[in-house]
Chain A
Amino acid sequence: MIVAMKRLTLVGIREEEPAILKALQKAGAVELISLGDHDDGESARKLGEASERIARLSDSLSAIRPYAKKPGVLAPERQESLEKLQGDVALAEQTHQKIQAILEERKGLLARREKNAAAYAALLPWQELSTPIEKLKDGKHTKVFLGLVDGAGETALLQNESLAAEFYGVPGNRGALLVCHKEDARQTAAFLKTINWTDVTLPELSGTPEEAMLALEREDMALEKRLIELETELSAFGVSAPVLENAADALRVEQEGMSAETQLEKGAVVFHLEGWVREDEVEKVEKAVAAVTDAYYSEYRDPLPEENPPTVLQNDKFNTPFEFLIDLYSLPDPRGIDATPYMTPFYIILFGIMLSDTGYGLVLALGAWLLLKLKKPTGGMKGLATILLWGGVSTMVWGVLVGSFFGLDFDAIFGTKDMFPLLIDPTANPVGMLLFCLLLGVIHLCAGHLIKMKMCLEEKDWQSAVFDNLSWVLILMGLVLAAMPVAAGFFDPPLRLGWFTALHLNTVGLVLALLGMAMVVLFKGRDKKNPISRLASGFGGIYNITSYVSDILSYARLLALGIATGYLAMVFNTLCSMLMGGGSLIGKIVGFLIAVVLLVALHLFSVAINTLGSFVHCARLQYVEFFGKFYEAGGKAFRPLKYRTRHVQISK
C-alpha cells in the first residue's frame, strides 16, 4: 500500500524556530521542501564548519581504529541517547587534540628518521676518512673535490700524476678526495668532467664521517624508542573510539538540523516551513510542535495534481521486508500501485526453484535467521536477511519436490525407493521440468495482467481492463490448456490426462485463446475511427505475441539455475568422495579429514554463489517480466528530517 501524503505548511515565531526544528527532527516525520535559496552565507559557513568538525573526528577515529575493540561481526549496533552523544562532544574534541598531537609528533619523527637514513647512506663510502667533515673545506690556496667514481674513473685519476687523490669505500662505488691548488681548480674540474665523476656534498655534521655515523645511529635508536612510546600512547586511545563515534554522530545530527534551517523562509518576525508528512503521522507532528509552543499556524492539505510527493510504502509484517526489492528497483509513482504484496509469493516460489536444494535452503535459512537474531539489523539489511530466510525455506521445500539434498538423492539418504522427488526430477526429466517452469512463467505474467486489470477497473477504464489485459490472460491460459495434451508427451513417463481430455479442456482452451485473439484484433485500435486502420492496429497487437514468447522463455532460467546448483553440488560430492578412497588406514583418515573440510568449504561457496545468482535472477523476473505488465516506477524516497547517524543508533 502507498501511504497518502499531506503537504504541511507551518508558520511560527522566528525566535522559536530552532526549538521547533529540534522537535521536528526528533519526531522524524517531516520531509522539508526547500523554499528557494535564502542563503545568507552565514548558514553555509556554519554547515562547512560542522562538516569540517566531523571530518576531523573521523580522521582521529581512523587513526585509533586499529587499537579499538572490534565489535563482533554479528554484534548489534550500539544504542545511546542523543544527550549522551552530545555530552561526549567536548571530551571527544579534547581527545582529538591529543591524538593529533601524537600524530604530528610521529610524522616529524618519521621524517627525521628518513632524513637520517639518507645522511647515513651518503656517509657510508667515506667511513674510513679520518678528517672531520667540517674541515673538508676549501683553504686559502687549496680547493677540495669530493666525489664518487667508478673503476675506470679511479684508474684515470691514479694515472693523472698532477693530482693527489685518496680513495675510500668499496671498489666500483669509491669515494674520492682530491685536493689541488686553487689556480689549478678549473683545469681539475675540466678533467673530472672527462671521467665518470659525481660531485658529492657530505651532510653537514660534525666529526669524522665515522663519528657522524655513530651519532646518527644513536639518534636513530632514540627516535625508534620514542616512536614505540608514541605507538603505545596512541593505542591507549583505542578505548576512546566509542566517544569519538558518539561525538561524530552528535555532530551529524546537528549538521542535519542546520541544513534544514537553510530550507526555511524567514521574515523579521516569523518563519515559514513547507514539507511532506505521512497522513498517519500528522498527529505526531502536530504534537511535537505543540509541545514547544502554542504560537504557530499549521495546515495539512492533499497534494495538488502537479505536485510530486515522496512515495512511502506500508505493508504488513510478512510483506514489509520485500519492500527492499522495490527499493532496489525503483519506488512506484506516488499515485501508482505498491507491487510488494503481489510480488512476495512469486519471489519466494521462484527463488526456491532456482536454488532447489534442501541442504542449501537449510544453510541459507539458518544463516539468515542467525543474522536476524544476533545482529538485529535494521533497514535494507533486515529486509535482505528476511527475504533470504523465506527464500531458504522455499528452497528447502523445492529441494524435497525435486529430490536434492546437498546434491544427493533423498532416496539414497532415507533408504526409500522411488519416493523422491515428490514432483519431478529435473535431471531425469529435463524437458518436463522446463515445461513446468514455463508454465509458472505464464501464471506469473497472467498475474501481472490481472493486477493491471484491477488498476484499470479502479480508474473505471473497463475497456483497457478487458481488451488489453483480460484478452491476453485468455490467450496465454487458453494456449496453455490447448497445448496440454502435446506437452504431456514430453514428460517421462507421459502425464496421464484422462479427466482433462474427458472434460475437453483443451478444446475449451483453444476457444478461450481464439476469443482473446478476437478481442485484441477487434478492439486493440478502438480509438481509431477508420475501420481499416483499426483492424491493422488489431493485427499489430496480435504480433505482440512474440514479446510474450520471449517473456515466457525467460523463465527457462528457473530450470537452468536449478540444474547448475544441483550439478555443482554433485561435482563437489564426487570430488570429495574420490579423496576418501585412500589405501592405508592413515591414508583413509587423512583423506577423510581433508574431504570433510573441503566438502564444507566447497558447499558454502556453492551456497553463496548460487544464492547470489538466484537472488539477482529472481529479482529480474519480477522487474522485467512481471512489473513490465503493470508497474509504474518513478517515485522518490521519503527523506524526513531526523537523526541520521553512522555509528550509533539513537534510542528513543
Chain B
Amino acid sequence: MLELIKANLGIILATLGAVTAAIGGILGSTLGVGKAGQAAAGLVSEQPERFGNALILQLLPGTQGIYGLVVAVFIAMRAGLLPGGAVEVSVSQGLQLLFAAFPMCFGGLVSAIHQAKVSVSGINTIGKRPEEFGHCMLMASMVETYAIFSLLISMLLIFGVNVG
C-alpha cells in the first residue's frame, strides 16, 4: 500500500489539488447562494414582482463554484486525469498543482460567503428601494473581484507547471 502511494505520489497530490480547488469554490457558493436564497425567498413572500432582481443577486455568489470547477478540471487535465491524456506527474509537479489550487480554494470559499452577505443586504434593500438594484448588484460584484483574482492566480500557476 505504502509502496503504491509512494510510486504514484505525484498524481495523488495533483488529484488532491483538483479536489481542494473544487471543495473551496463549491462549498463557498453553496453557503453563499443558500444564504442569499433565504433572503430572496423572504422578499418574494412580500413582493413577488421582485423575483427576477432577487434571483440575480442570489446567483452572484454562485460563480465561485464554477471557478472552482474550472480550476479543478484544469488541474485534472494537466495531470492527465481525464480520458485521453495520461502523463507522468512527478512529486514536485504534483505539489505545484496542489499549491496552485490554494488561491482558488480559500479565495473562493471566503469571497463567496462574504459576497453572499452583501447580496443578502442588497436583497433587503431592493425590498424597500427597488431602484437601488443596480447599485446593490455592483456592490456584490466588488467582492467577486477577489474570487476572479483567485481564479486568475490559480490558472496562471497551473499554466506554469511543466507536466509531461
**B and A form one assembly:** yes
| A residues in contact (CB < 8 Å) with B | 327-330, 430-431, 434, 554, 556-557, 559-561, 563-564, 567-568, 570-571, 574, 578, 609, 612-613, 616-617, 619-620, 623
The reply to whether B70 and A564 contact each other, CB–CB distance below 8 Å, is yes
The reply to whether A567 and B83 form a contact with Cβ atoms under 8 Å apart is: no
New A-B contacts (4) at CB < 8 Å, excluding given A564-B67, A617-B144, A620-B141: A329-B134, A431-B156, A564-B66, A574-B83
Interface of A is mostly: helix
Contacts A430-B159, A567-B70, A571-B70: A612 and B148 contacting too (C-beta < 8 A)?
no
Chain B residues near A329 (CB-CB < 8 A)? 134-135, 138
Q: Are A609 and B59 closer than 8 Å at their CB atoms?
A: yes
Known: A328-B134, A620-B142. A568 touches B66 (CB 8 A): yes
A434 to B83, CA, bound (A): 29
Chain A residues within 8 Å of B138, by CB? 329, 616, 619-620, 623
Chain A residues lying within 8 Å of B156, measured Cβ to Cβ, are 430-431, 434
| Closest A residue to B63 using CB positions | A613
Contacts of B134 in A (CB 8 A): 327-329, 619
Once the chains are docked, how many angstroms separate the CA of A570 from the CA of B71? 12
Which of A327, A570, A609, A616 makes the CB contact (< 8 A) with B137? A616
Interchain Cβ contacts under 8 Å between A and B, 21 examples = A327-B134, A328-B134, A430-B156, A556-B149, A557-B149, A560-B149, A560-B151, A563-B155, A567-B73, A571-B69, A571-B70, A609-B59, A609-B62, A613-B63, A616-B137, A617-B141, A617-B144, A619-B134, A620-B141, A620-B145, A623-B138
B:123-163 near A, CB below 8 Å: 133-135, 137-138, 141-142, 144-145, 148-149, 151-152, 155-156, 159
The chain A residue with its CB closest to the CB of B140 is A616
**A431-B156, A616-B138, A617-B141 given; A557·B59 CB < 8 A:** no
Complex CA–CA separation, A330 to B148 (angstroms)? 25
Indicate if B102 sits at the interface (CB-CB under 8 A). no
Interface of B is mostly: helix
Q: Which residues on the B side are within 8 Å of A327 (C-beta)?
A: 134
Q: Are B141 and A616 in contact (CB under 8 A)?
A: yes
B82 CB-CB contact with A under 8 Å: yes
CB-based contact A567/B74 at 8 Å = yes
Please, which residues of chain B bring their CB within 8 A of the CB of A563?
70, 151-152, 155
Cβ B145 vs Cβ A554 within 8 A: yes
Q: Is B60 an interface residue (CB 8 A)?
A: yes
A612 and B56: CB pair below 8 A? yes
Which residue of chain A is the closest to B83 with respect to CB atoms?
A578
Docked complex Cα distance between A571 and B77 (Å): 10
Q: Measured between alpha carbons, how far is A561 from B149 in the docked complex, in Å?
A: 10
Closest 10 CB pairs of A and B: A328-B134, A560-B152, A567-B70, A616-B141, A560-B148, A571-B73, A557-B148, A430-B159, A560-B151, A620-B141
CB distance from B55 to the nearest CB of A (A): 10
B89: shortest Cβ distance to chain A, in Å? 19
Total A-B pairs, Cβ < 8 A = 77
List chain A residues, Cβ under 8 A from B144. 616-617
| Residue of A559, A567, A623 with highest tally of chain B CB at under 10 A | A567
> In the bound complex, how far is the Cα of B133 from the Cα of A261, in angstroms?
31
Residue from B56, B82, B145 having most chain A Cβ neighbours under 10 A? B145
* A residues less than 8 Å from B62 (CB atoms): 609
- CB nearest neighbor in A for B69: A571
Q: Which one of B142, B149, B151 contacts A564 once the chains associate, using CB atoms below 8 Å?
A: B151
A612 — which chain B residues lie within 8 A by C-beta? 56, 59-60
- What chain B residues lie within 8 Å of A613 (beta carbons)? 63
Which single residue of chain B is at the shortest CB-CB distance from A325?
B134
Knowing A567-B74, A568-B70 are in contact, say whether A559-B141 is a contact too (CB < 8 A). no
Number of B interface residues, CB 8 Å? 29
**In whole angstroms, what is the CA distance A557 to B59 when docked?**
19
Residue of A nearest to B56 (CB): A612
CA–CA, A574 and B81, complex, Å: 12
> How many Å from the CB of B34 to the closest CB on chain A?
17
> What's the minimum C-beta distance from A547 to chain B, rounded to whole angstroms?
15
CA distance A574 to B84 in the complex (A): 11
With the chains together, A533 CA to B123 CA distance in Å? 48
Smallest CB separation, B112 vs chain A (Å)? 14
Which residues in A have their C-beta under 8 angstroms from that of B142?
A: 620
A60 to B92, CA, bound (A): 71
Shortest beta-carbon distance, A59 to chain B, in Å?
Answer: 15
CA–CA, A559 and B152, complex, Å: 8
- Assembled-state Cα–Cα distance A36/B47 (Å): 33
Given contacts A616-B137, A617-B141, A620-B141, contact A560 B59 (CB under 8 A): no
Q: Report chain A residues within 8 Å CB of B133.
A: 328
The digit string for B83-118, where 1 denotes a CB below 8 A from any CB of A, is: 100000000000000000000000000000000000
How many angstroms from the CA of A208 to the CA of B15 in the assembled complex?
76
Given contacts A430-B159, A563-B155, A619-B138, contact A568 B148 (CB under 8 A): no
Please name all residues of chain B whose beta carbon is closer than 8 Å to the beta carbon of A623 when the two chains form the complex. Answer: 138
What separation, in Å, do the CA atoms of A619 and B136 have in the docked complex?
13
Residue in chain A with minimal CB distance to B159: A430
Complex-state Cα separation, A4 to B79, whole angstroms: 63
> What is the bound-complex CA distance between A620 and B74, given in angstroms?
27
Measured CB to CB, the nearest residue on chain A to B137 is: A616
* Residues in chain A near residue B148, CB distance under 8 A: 556-557, 560-561, 617
Task: Report A-chain residues with C-beta under 8 Å of the C-beta of B67.
Answer: 564
Q: 8 Å CB contacts to A: which residues of B44-63?
A: 56, 59-60, 62-63
User: Which chain A positions have C-beta within 8 A of B73?
Assistant: 567, 570-571, 574
Chain A residue, CB-CB nearest to B152: A560
CB of B47, distance to nearest CB on chain A (Å) = 14
For the complex, give the distance between the alpha carbons of A431 and B159 in Å.
Answer: 9
Determine if A556 and B59 form an interchain contact, defined as CB atoms under 8 angstroms apart.
no
- Determine how close the nearest CB of chain B comes to the CB of A238; give it in whole angstroms: 20
Complex contacts, B159 vs chain A, CB 8 Å: 430-431
Q: Which residue of A lies closest to B142 (CB)?
A: A620
Bound CA span A432–B59, Å: 31
Q: Give the docked Cα–Cα distance between A574 and B72 (Å).
A: 14
Q: Which residues of A contact B149 (CB under 8 A)?
A: 556-557, 560
Cα A481 to Cα B120 in complex, Å, equals 45
Nearest CB of B to A626, in Å? 13
Instruction: Give the interface centre of A327, A554, A612 by most chain B CB atoms within 10 Å.
Output: A612
Query: What residue of chain B has the Cβ atom nearest to residue A557's Cβ?
Result: B148
- Residues of B near A567 (CB, < 8 A) are 70, 73-74
Chain B contacts for A564, CB-based, 8 A? 63, 66-67, 70, 151
A103 to B145, CA, bound (A): 52
Q: Which residues of B contact A561 (CB under 8 A)?
A: 148
Is B155 a contact partner of A560 (Cβ separation < 8 A)? yes
Give chain A residues whose Cβ lies under 8 Å from the Cβ of B83.
Answer: 574, 578
**Contacting residue for B63 out of A570, A571, A609, A620, CB 8 A:** A609
Contact A430 B70, CB 8 Å, known A329-B134, A616-B137: no
Residues from chain B with Cβ under 8 Å of A568 in the complex: 66, 69-70
In the assembled complex, the CB of A487 is this many whole angstroms from the nearest CB of chain B, namely 16
In the assembled complex, the Cα of A570 lies from the Cα of B133 at a distance in Å of 33
B141 to chain A, nearest CB (A): 5
- A48 to B158 Cα, complex, angstroms: 65
**Distance from A641 Cβ to chain B, minimum over Cβ atoms (Å):** 19
